[in-house]
């Protein structure tokens, strides 16, 4: 595998795309019978994109551990729609309060100060 990696053609992964990755995407798209595919280097990145595609601002995401857990949650929230609505309303309020641009910048600055020390 290392030998194949060392022989792989390299390119710009931002502008035109890396030719090796483009070949991988085309091959996968053909394999699954789709017009195109997108290579994502981590499961976390793929999950973040999926959440962004399948949800909209103000919506809430309820996660589950396995299919049994999913079935229990679906049964519960279908039987308790007011609780399901409350989760969504609380998530919306929290997102508006805690996930602002200001909040994110302050968090990034705190991390930088911890890592690099404060400068004046």
Span 47-71, pLDDT tens digits:
888 888 888 776 667 788 999 999 9
Mean pLDDT, the chain, whole residue set? 83
Structure tokens at 68: 């049994």
What is the pTM for the complete model shown?
Answer: 0.43
- Position 79 scores a pLDDT of 96
**Higher pLDDT pick, 112 / 68:** 68
Whole-angstrom distance, CA of residue 94 vs CA of residue 88: 10
Q: Give percent of the chain above pLDDT 90.
A: 23
* CB neighbourhood size of 71 (10 A): 11
H-helix segments, the chain? 2-7, 19-32, 43-54, 67-79, 81-98, 101-116
Quickly tell me which residue has 């309303």 as its tokens. 89
């Amino acid at each position: 595998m290392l030998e194949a990696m060392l022989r792989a053609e390299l390119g710009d992964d931002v502008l035109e795309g890396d030719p090796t990755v483009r070949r991988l995407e085309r091959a996968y798209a053909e394999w699954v019978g789709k017009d195109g595919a997108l290579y994502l280097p981590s499961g976390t990145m793929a999950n973040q994109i999926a959440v962004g595609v399948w949800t909209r601002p103000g919506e809430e995401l309820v996660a589950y551990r396995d299919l049994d857990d999913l079935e229990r949650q679906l049964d519960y929230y279908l039987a308790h729609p007011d609780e399901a609505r409350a989760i969504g309303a609380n998530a919306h309020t929290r997102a508006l309060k805690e996930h602002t641009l200001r909040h994110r910048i302050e968090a990034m600055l705190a991390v930088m100060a911890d890592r690099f020390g404060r400068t004046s």
